[in-house]
Structure formats: C-alpha cells, structure tokens
Amino acid sequence: MYVSYIPQIMNNLAGSPGSPWQPLAAFFNCVMWTAYGLFKKDRDWPIVIANVPGVFLGAAAFLTAFLHG
C-alpha cells in the first residue's frame, strides 16, 4: 500500500508536489502501529514489518511535498 507513495515522491521532486497532509497522517498512523507492535509484551512482528515501510515512505512523501510545495 505504501509503495504508492513512490510516484508521489518522484512527482514532488520533479516539481509537481502533491498534498503533504495525507502522507503525514499515514506516517503517524504507521509510527503508532509500529510502536504498538514493538512494545507489546510478546512483540507482534507482522504488524511491525507491515508498517515500517509506511513510516519511511510517508515521511519522504510528506517532506518532499512540503519542502517543494
């Protein structure tokens, strides 16, 4: 799901920035789910693994849209 941010990041860097707010919301969502998976007594690795890419790609999409917008 978060791979869809790659074209947005490329467009942002090419000078056609998209909205930064949805990737920012996805970033915070993924951070919270990742923290939840890591801080459970019995770590929930599938949740962590599924959300870590969203942390990085959401942040990259937000930053490139915000800084080039």
Answer whether residue 23 shows pLDDT above 90. yes
Indicate whether 16 pLDDT > 80. Answer: yes
Task: Record the pTM.
Answer: 0.89
pLDDT score at 69: 60
In whole numbers, what is the pLDDT of the chain averaged over residues? 94
Whether 13 has a pLDDT exceeding 80, the answer reads yes
Helix %, strand %, coil % of the chain (to 5): 80, 0, 20
Query: Higher confidence at residue 68 or residue 35?
Result: 35
User: In this model, does residue 68 exceed pLDDT 80?
Assistant: no
Name the residue type at position 53.
P
